[in-house]
Structure 1
Amino acid sequence: MTPTYILTLSCPDQPGIVHGVAGLLFMHGGNILEAAQYNDEQTGLFFMRVQFACAKTPRADLEHALQELAAVWTMSFELHAGAQRMATVIMVSQHGHCINDLLFRFKSGLLPIDIKAIVSNHRDFYQLAASYNIPFHHIPVTAATKQEAEAKQLEVIRAEGAELVILARYMQVLSDPMCRALNGRAINIHHSFLPSFKGAKPYYQAHDRGVKLIGATAHYVTADLDEGPIIEQDVARADHSLTVDDLTSIGRDTESQVLARAVKWHSERRVLLNGHKTVIFK
Structure 2
Amino acid sequence: MKTRIEGHLRSFQENNRNRGRLLVSCPDQPGIVAAVSNFLYEKGANIVESSQHSTNPEGGTFFIRFEFECENLNEKEALLEHDFLAIAERFSMDWKFTYAYKVKKTAIFVSKELHCLLELLWEWQSGDFTTDIALVISNHEDAKDIVESMGIPFHYIPASKEIRKEVEEKQLQLLEDYDIDLIVLARYMQILTPDFVTAHPNRIINIHHSFLPAFIGARPYERAYKRGVKLIGATSHYVTNDLDEGPIIEQDIERVNHRDSADDLKKIGRLIERTVLARAVKWHLEDRVIVHENRTIVFN
TM-score of the pair, normalised by structure 2: 0.91
Q: 2:295 aligns with which of 252, 277, 282?
A: 277
**Higher alpha-carbon deviation: 240-249 or 183-192:** 240-249
- Cross-structure match for 1:9: 24
Is structure 2 residue 174 aligned with structure 1 residue 159?
A: no
| Closer/same/farther in 2, CA of residues 225 and 115 from structure 1, 3 Å limit | same
| AA matched with 1:119 | I
1:199 Cα offset (Å)? 2.4
Q: Give matches, 1:164-203, under 5 Å.
A: 164-203=182-221
**Structure 2 equivalent of residue 224 of structure 1:** 242
* CA shift in 2, pair 1:119/1:17, >3 Å: same
Q: Describe the SS at the equivalent of 1:272.
A: strand
Report what 1:248 is aligned to: 266
Shift of 1:202: 1.4
Cα RMSD over matched residues?
Answer: 1.4
Alignment of 1:127-142 (within 5 A): 127-142=145-160
Within 5 Å, give how 1:17-166 maps onto structure 2: 17-41=32-56, 44-55=60-71, 58-166=76-184
Instruction: State the Cα distance separating 1:142 from its structure 2 match.
Output: 2.3
8 Å contact from structure 1 (residues 29, 56) kept in 2: no
Greater share of helix: 2
Q: Percent identity?
A: 46
- Deviation track 1:7-29 (CA, whole Å, cap 9, x = no partner) reads 11111111111011000000010
Residue ranges of structure 1 left out of the alignment (5+ in a row) = none
Question: Partners in 1 of 2:188 and 2:200 — Cα distance?
Answer: 15
1:10 & 1:161 partners in 2: Cα distance?
27
- For residues 106 and 85 of structure 1, the distance between their equivalents in structure 2, rounded to whole angstroms, comes to 13
Distance 1:157 1:68 in 2: 35
State the shift of 1:62 in Å: 1.1
Contact 1:221/1:228 (<8 A) preserved: yes
- How many residues align? The count is 282
Deviates further, 265-274 or 51-60: 51-60
CA distance in 1, matches of 2:232, 2:174: 35
For residues 26 and 14 of structure 1, the distance between their equivalents in structure 2, rounded to whole angstroms, comes to: 21
Residue 121 (structure 1) shift: 1.0
> Comparing 217-226 with 147-156, which one deviates more in the overlay?
147-156
Report the alpha carbon displacement of residue 50 of structure 1 after superposing the two structures with TM.
Answer: 0.3
2:113 alignment partner AA: H
Per mean C-alpha deviation after superposition, the further-off stretch among 205-214 and 163-172 is: 205-214
In the TM superposition, structure 1's runs of 4+ consecutive aligned residues that sit over 2 Å from their partners are none
- CA shift for structure 1 position 152: 1.0
- Which residue identity lines up with residue 19 of structure 1 in the other structure? A
1:266 correspondence with 2:284: yes
Matching residue of 2:252:
234
**How many angstroms does 1:143 deviate by?**
2.5
Aligned AA for 1:20?
Answer: A
| Runs of 5+ unmatched residues, structure 2 | 1-14
Report which stretch shifted further, 56-65 or 91-100: 56-65
Distance 1:202 1:159 in 2: 35
